[in-house]
A and B are shown apart, each in its own frame.
Chain A
Amino acid sequence: MRIFIYREPGVELSLASTADYLAGKGARVELRGSFFSRFANLQEAAGKIAGMRISDPSRPAVEGEPLYGEVKYELRVLRGEAKAGGVVYDGFLLQNYMRGLLPRREVGLDKLHLSVTPRLLATFDEDDRRYHLRAIILGYPAIISTSGIVEAPAKPREFYLQRRLLGEDALAEARIKQKLREKLLDYGDPRMEEVLKGYALQALFYQLFGEAFCESTRCRLYNAHWQEELLAAQFSQPELCEKHKKMLERWRSTPP
């Protein structure tokens, strides 16, 4: 298995330790720069990505005509001249677009393309008819959102209760976050890359076995909906449950 990790502009982590971690699992890993700089015309990509913004969380986005300024902003983000933030994009539209950009020679079941982006992504759920923020979009290519890791899993219950009590202004929120810092992940958190490795492992399992998640809260593949659960799953030892440990061992011992 070859894994290509793409680091999009604005991702503050080096991803070198993520690459080493996946290599330790038996894959050949190559750390690449931006996916779009490698495979797309940036001006065209800016126009496409600008059309993937979600404006209404209760209606599925359709690729629309972007505004003049939106395209200019996306171009600056792609060039690393602006930070991605405050905007939510349709994760499946982005994934479909990226899949179409991959050249034929780069596509195969023995190749995993894993893009790490600072953009916040969401996918529309037909059951409850609304968008849900995502830390990872599994599939081809797999996309991990660093802002999604912070925003998608719910923060500890106390965070929301205290915010109701103390108010939602910046002063109150900063104080609550400081108080609960052990239980929640925030931007720039030193634990971020360790957590990201768990999501990268989910992408690898999905590619190898079509199964990314585990029901055990002590397994690194646990699909956490709360940040406390996420931190517990990513920092517990041993890192994988017996079932997933064996799956990985079997794959490693199978000749290519």
Chain B
Amino acid sequence: MLFQKVEEKDVTQAIVGEFSKMLSEYAESDVIIVGGGPAGLTAAKELASRGVKTLIIERNNYLGGGFWIGGYLMNKVTVRSPGEKVLDEIGVPYQEYVRGLYVTDGPHACSKLIAAACDAGARILNMTRVDDVVLREGNRVAGVVINWTPISALPREITCVDPVSLQAKVVIDATGHEAEVVSALVKRGLMKVRGYGAMWVERSEDAVVEHTGEAHPGLIVAGMAVSTVYGLPRMGPTFGAMLLSGKRAAEVALELLQKK
């Protein structure tokens, strides 16, 4: 027989035991990143590699968001300079298409970015959705309320499964256009958003990176969630801004952690 003999209960205990240990340990994190797309993964890599206790919450079973494919379901992704520096950091080959515009393979880049975040020490809760936020004095965001994705997809009347809460010193909303954490604050009347804009597409990538930051006390927005909050132009299938927005979000998170 090729494999070691183990009993079914051993497999179950390994899964439950290790998951419970991780969940218990990360019931309080330094930073919770909601959304495991390119911006969230880059932020996670940056923070975890600096010893910050970082947890990624992802509603799908897979990480990477839209980073697996470029436009029109074709799996070549483009980044404008200086986004290629992140590709260098994670060891992804690319080619310069025209001056300052680089093309790489989506699957290669995405899998390397996921690996980089994991290697740096970030932990991941996938198949998990954010239902609400944990608030403290001055309505500062101090964590998130979560539930399993399948539970969220079912009508409340037939599920009745209460969520659980996780605390963090800083929360990053990297959930893309839906801006799920921000939406929880909007529902409570604690925040407003501008919605999508349609102007000055030329500079939309710069704008997303430059607007990445604390949008509400304790809450940083990154990636396309930034566009939703500030009404910035939507952009085409180019990912440099997502990677650099993730980096910027990590810088802001480090500044906030130092202040605490």
Residues of chain A touching chain B, judged by Cβ–Cβ distance below 8 Å, are: 53-55, 57, 67-70, 72-73, 76-77, 82-88, 120, 147, 151, 168-171, 174-175, 178
B100 pairs with A55, CB closer than 8 A: no
Candidates A57, A67, A147; contact of B230 at CB < 8 Å: A67
A73 pairs with B200, CB closer than 8 A: no
Our count of residue pairs bridging A and B at CB distance below 8 angstroms stands at 91
Given contacts A170-B80, A170-B238, contact A67 B203 (CB under 8 A): no
A69's nearest neighbour on chain B, judged by CB, is: B215
A57: chain B residues within 8 A (beta carbon): 198-199
Interface size class of B (residues with CB under 8 A): 35 or more
* B31-39, B56-64, B142-150, B206-214: which lies at the interface: B206-214
A85 pairs with B203, CB closer than 8 A: yes
B92 contacts A by Cβ under 8 Å: no
Candidates A55, A77, A147; contact of B197 at CB < 8 Å: A55
Proximity bits, B177-214, A CB within 8 Å = 1, else 0? 00000000000000111100111101110111011011
A83: chain B residues within 8 A (beta carbon): 206, 210
A85 pairs with B206, CB closer than 8 A: yes
Q: How far is the CA of A160 from the CA of B191 in the complex (A)?
A: 39
Q: How far is the CA of A88 from the CA of B233 in the complex (A)?
A: 11
Residues of chain B touching chain A, judged by Cβ–Cβ distance below 8 Å, are: 71, 78, 80, 97-101, 103, 191-194, 197-200, 202-204, 206-208, 210-211, 213-217, 221, 229-233, 236-238
A174: chain B residues within 8 A (beta carbon): 97-101
A54 pairs with B207, CB closer than 8 A: no
B202 pairs with A87, CB closer than 8 A: no
Given contacts A86-B232, A168-B236, contact A67 B207 (CB under 8 A): no
B101 pairs with A147, CB closer than 8 A: no
A-B contact pairs, 26 of them (CB 8 A): A53-B231, A54-B199, A55-B194, A57-B198, A67-B191, A67-B192, A67-B215, A67-B230, A68-B214, A68-B216, A68-B217, A69-B216, A70-B230, A76-B210, A82-B210, A85-B207, A86-B200, A86-B207, A86-B232, A120-B203, A151-B200, A169-B238, A171-B78, A171-B97, A174-B101, A178-B99
A178: chain B residues within 8 A (beta carbon): 98-99
Q: How far is the CA of A221 from the CA of B71 in the complex (A)?
A: 44
Candidates A72, A84, A88, A170; contact of B214 at CB < 8 Å: A72
Q: How far is the CA of A160 from the CA of B114 in the complex (A)?
A: 39
